[in-house]
Amino acid sequence: MTDRISLHDSVGVDLLRRELGIDPHIVHRVRTVFFKKFRGREAAITELPCGVRNVFAERIQFYPLTLDARLDSEQDGATKLVFATTSGKRIESVLLRAGTGRTALCISSQVGCAANCDFCATGKMGFHSNLTAAEMLDQVVQANEQIAGENRSVRNIVFMGMGEPFHNESELYDALDTLVDGRGFNHPANRILISTVGIPDAMLRCARRYPTVNQALSLHSVRDDIRESIIPLARKYSIDELRATILHLNALQPSTVMIEYLMLASVNDSLRDAAELAEFLTGLRVHVNLIPYNAIEGAPHLVGSSRNVRDAFAAALKAAGLTTTIRYSMGADIEAACGQLVQKMERGRLARAT
């Protein structure tokens, strides 16, 4: 059987449309029902003339991923979605329902991650493969279908799941193109955030191409030695280079750069660390987000800072004039909080098979 064409492949879909003699406006309605209204495959297909529905449905791939499991937090508004790729690998996405009524979706860009950050479960997996743009977009589609019955839709899309997005730059950009395109998802660019461990050239390329897409830098320390001890990739890019990158981003983008700072006891949480961070960020347009550490397997040496320490650290930054918030981590009871995403289900199946 001929390989199916992804509905996300506009060129391939248009070639099929011509082959089947379908009016382009009808295909546009199919994509609108599926990408913007999230009413599912069957509803989308009914937009087609009866004579071509079966052929179109057979030739088009609507869902590149298979939903393998859904886990709902009993503590807060988090839902973890575990997807299987066609190669049998598993990735995770997280829906976050904030008390404000807004819904955010944290999506993955890779299976595993090569950055190998000491505090991240995904990094402990190592790198397996990049996701395609269609696989990234399918996480958005299926997440929206999951919450349609709640009269919700995803407002904010965050590339902060499994993987380093800028290690999959080409597919990331293809996904962004479809997300912001009026013929695709028509999702506002300023409601998209890309989180990176810090790859300067890619950060600037992205800002030039998508000036209103937000970026977040996982900084965690402004001392090169400490940063390198928890983020091995930091050996390639110095703190001074990252500061120059943030300054350049500020010139390219209207928004602030989010600075992610994981609070680790006796590693980076002293008032001296706060003072050094404040000095480093002086003159930059940034928003500091302090992140409580969520324990993971394989890192027994890491301990999260206490609430009192986090509060004191935040107060020091605010006193220095920096906009600062302390993130409320959701989904810890289902291992869906920051740094906890890992394909444990696949590991378990592999272990039973060997």
Active site residues: 92, 338
DSSP symbols for 212-254: TSEEEEE---SSHHHHHHH-GGGGTS-HHHHHHHHHHHHHH-S
* Best CA proximity match to 238, nearest among 253, 250, 228: 228
Would you say 139 and 131 are in contact if contact means Cβ atoms under 8 Å apart?
no
Residue 47 contacts residue 40 (beta carbons within 8 Å) = no
Q: Between the CA of residue 283 and those of 208, 238, 244, 246, 324, what are the distances in Å?
A: 21, 19, 11, 10, 15
For the CA atoms of 220, 224, 226, 227, what is the dihedral angle to 10 degrees?
40
Structure tokens at 294: 């969520």
- Euclidean distance between CA atoms 143 and 40, whole angstroms: 11
317, 274 Cβ separation under 8 angstroms: yes
198, amino acid identity: G
- Cβ atoms of residues 13 and 22 within 8 Å: no
- Starting from the edge strand earliest in sequence, which strands make up the sheet with 214-218, in order? 66-72, 78-84, 90-97, 103-107, 156-159, 192-196, 214-218, 257-263, 286-292, 324-326
| 317 beta partners | none
Kindly state the helix (H) or strand (E) to which residue 319 belongs, with its residue range: helix 307-319
